[in-house]
A and B are shown apart, each in its own frame.
Chain A
Amino acid sequence: QKEVEQDPGPLSVPEGAIVSLNCTYSNSAFQYFMWYRQYSRKGPELLMYTYSSGNKEDGRFTAQVDKSSKYISLFIRDSQPSDSATYLCAMRSTNAGKSTFGDGTTLTVKP
């Protein structure tokens, strides 16, 4: 079983919808949680990161971490066609030099 499981998608929503992207994990040592966005034929770029449990908001994006359930989510409000991309969750423990990634969820926002 993988350490990080991500909802596989693909996901297709109309413009303006609220999108929820989710990952679960099994390693209780994970403390840092990241979301990356990857446009087609480009490298991933960091969207948000959070430390430990709680919520973090940045514009239309909200990252949520529930360590008790080993579950993280990324919410996108008022989704736009420009949000169409693959979203990767990633996480790492405090002292680890490397992160563990989910497989990614491909999102399409239709005008």
Chain B
Amino acid sequence: DVKVTQSSRYLVKRTGEKVFLECVQDMDHENMFWYRQDPGLGLRLIYFSYDVKMKEKGDIPEGYSVSREKKERFSLILESASTNQTSMYLCASSQKWVPVAGNTIYFGEGSWLTVV
């Protein structure tokens, strides 16, 4: 089974702190994603990466950065956390496009971040 592991399930951080959210996948997937999920706003893509050291902005990249130094690991960084970044953060991974399989996305369990 594909496993996407997010190291922290629940975090409480102070405004202005630097926050790292770590994600590791064990299926050698090329693509990795960071989403945030908020009530009424659904899943919004922050950043994604299709290869080591490669990254692309998603729909809401402001206030975030990412790092992908190894294929299996994708980190989300909040340089200076703010209260409006309180949310559930979901990491996901998928293979490069595979026509038959449809290249489905596998999600981690989520990281609940509260910024006070």
Question: Interface residue count for A (Cβ, 8 Å)?
Answer: 24
**A97:B48 contact, CB within 8 angstroms:** yes
Complex alpha-carbon distance, A94 and B96, angstroms: 11
B80 at interface, CB cutoff 8 A:
no
A49 to B96, CA, bound (A): 16
Q: How far is the CA of A32 from the CA of B109 in the complex (A)?
A: 24
With A98-B48, A103-B41, A103-B42 known as contacts, the answer to whether A32 contacts B102 (CB < 8 A) is yes
Q: How far is the CA of A41 from the CA of B52 in the complex (A)?
A: 30
Total number of residue pairs linking A and B with CB closer than 8 Å? 56
Chain A residues near B (Cβ < 8 Å): 6, 32, 34, 36, 41-46, 49, 51, 88, 90, 92, 94-95, 97-99, 101-104
What would 20 more interface pairs be, CB under 8 Å, given A97-B56, A99-B105, A104-B43?
A32-B102, A32-B103, A34-B105, A36-B107, A41-B112, A42-B109, A43-B4, A43-B90, A43-B92, A46-B105, A46-B106, A49-B102, A49-B104, A88-B42, A97-B48, A97-B97, A98-B33, A98-B45, A103-B40, A104-B42
